[in-house]
């Protein structure tokens, strides 16, 4: 029995059935075209929001239903069955919007959260810069106060939802001369259309082809001081607080993707014949699939335990970093082996495993590389 079994209610199952039917009708048939287009159309977001599937955890006062995190994990699980990794609704719902819910004042919440729920506001978070990756303290983007405005200058890159976003949370230095590089950082909300905010090209990536990933530039971009998120100088600490859930969401996504890869591969090996019998009957292949299934089962148990921790109000940075490291590496091992068992067909775009293989590669890079996760874990061990 799954560790989460006792947490699921009838409402959770109704929600799962509803979103599964929605994905089958409104997402899966269009995924191939979205991959060609390099972007998910905005109306897909508003349709999704109209069903109550975006940010379901947001309180009713702001348009949500106050649901628990299990609803978010259900969305991730059912999304995997569409073979679409580019429609990053969980990035919006469970990574970016929580910054607003946690750190915004009441006026800001009333202004932005209802649109986040409806899909009329698509969000992104801009941390990474061309010269800085995981080292947030080294960012160069500045937001210098001038009366009732901040003047933003700088560049960001690899921003998921970067083309579609209507609102981006920008990490910038409001005090570039602070003694500590961490103390001078703030989070500034920039809305699409603000003069001086320029969206660059939709980046051409190895995988996640339907995910709009963009460069951004801020050139004397004037933003009202009222768009400061939380307190000035606290941005780095806000990011550290929310990176826990980002890494958990990433781990869940990697876990369900690995499960899906094994599922389609088992089905394929049962029907693909060589030397007069299904290739699943060859001992080597059956044993290797058994090994992959074991790794996946271990990952599921670990991920479920972290979901339970979150549901019960516990956060373990070490475990979340371990999950982000191990599960994402496991996903890459699984998809690579599953592609191998498809033979030449695994290299063909028409087979789902090909997309799974190329989409998996970024999982050990974004939301903190595997190497950064190992550094965090070692520090948590007192090393």
The catalytic residues are: 246
> In which residue are the tokens 């303290």 written?
137
Determine the Cα–Cα distance for residues 304 and 300; give it in Å rounded to an integer. Answer: 6
Q: How far is CA 91 from the centre of its chain?
A: 4
**Which of 101, 90, 19, 85 is closest to 52 using CA atoms?**
19
DSSP conformation letters of 94-128: IIIHHHHHHH--HHHHHHHHHHHHHTSS-EEEE--
Q: How far is CA 72 from the centre of its chain?
A: 11
Neighbouring C-beta atoms of residue 86, cutoff 10 Å: 22
Q: Which residues have C-beta within 8 Å of that of residue 129, sequence separation ≥ 6?
A: 139, 140, 141, 154, 155, 156, 157
Determine the Cα–Cα distance for residues 264 and 284; give it in Å rounded to an integer. Answer: 18
Q: Which residues have C-beta within 8 Å of that of residue 218, sequence separation ≥ 6?
A: 141, 152, 153, 154, 155, 156, 170, 190, 196, 197, 198
The dihedral formed by the CA atoms of 277, 280, 285 and 286, expressed in degrees to the nearest 10: -130
**Which of 325, 307, 328, 329 is closest to 316 using CA atoms?**
307
Q: Which residues have C-beta within 8 Å of that of residue 13, sequence separation ≥ 6?
A: none
- In angstroms, how far is the first alpha carbon of the chain from the final one? 37
Determine the Cα–Cα distance for residues 249 and 261; give it in Å rounded to an integer. Answer: 18
| Residue 311 token pair | 């549901």
């Amino acid at each position: 029995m799954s560790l989460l079994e006792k947490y699921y209610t009838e409402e959770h199952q109704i929600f799962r059935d509803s979103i599964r039917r929605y994905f089958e009708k409104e997402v899966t048939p269009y995924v191939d075209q979205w991959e060609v287009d390099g972007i998910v159309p905005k109306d897909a977001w508003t349709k999704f929001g109209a069903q109550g599937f975006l940010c379901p955890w947001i309180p009713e006062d702001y348009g949500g239903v106050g649901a628990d995190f299990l609803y978010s994990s259900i969305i991730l699980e059912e999304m995997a069955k569409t073979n679409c990794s580019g429609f990053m609704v969980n990035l919006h719902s469970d990574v970016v919007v929580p910054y607003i819910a946690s750190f915004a004042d009441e006026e800001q919440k009333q202004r932005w959260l209802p649109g986040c729920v409806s899909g009329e506001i698509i969000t992104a978070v801009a941390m990474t810069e061309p010269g800085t990756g995981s080292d947030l303290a080294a960012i160069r983007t500045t937001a210098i106060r001038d009366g009732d405005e901040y003047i933003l200058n700088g560049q960001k890159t690899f921003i998921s939802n970067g083309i579609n976003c209507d609102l981006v949370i920008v990490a910038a230095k409001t005090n570039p001369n602070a003694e500590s590089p961490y103390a001078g950082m703030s989070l500034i909300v920039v809305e699409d259309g603000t003069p001086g905010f320029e969206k660059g090209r939709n980046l051409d990536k190895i995988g996640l082809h339907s995910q709009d990933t963009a460069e951004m530039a801020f050139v004397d971009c004037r933003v009202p001081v009222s768009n400061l998120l939380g307190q000035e100088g606290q941005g780095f600490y806000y990011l550290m607080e929310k990176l826990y859930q980002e890494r958990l969401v990433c781990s869940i996504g990697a876990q369900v993707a690995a499960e899906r890869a094994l599922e389609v591969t088992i089905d394929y090996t049962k029907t693909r014949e060589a030397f007069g019998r299904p290739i699943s009957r060859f001992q080597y292949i059956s044993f290797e699939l058994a090994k992959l299934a074991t790794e996946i089962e271990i990952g599921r148990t670990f991920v479920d335990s972290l979901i339970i921790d979150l549901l019960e109000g516990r956060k373990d940075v070490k475990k979340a970093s371990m999950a982000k490291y191990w599960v994402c590496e496991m996903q890459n091992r699984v998809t690579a082996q599953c592609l191998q068992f498809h033979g030449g067909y695994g290299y063909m775009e028409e087979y789902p495993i090909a997309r799974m293989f190329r989409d998996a590669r970024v999982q050990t890079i974004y939301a903190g590389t595997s190497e950064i996760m190992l550094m965090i874990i070692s520090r948590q061990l007192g090393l």
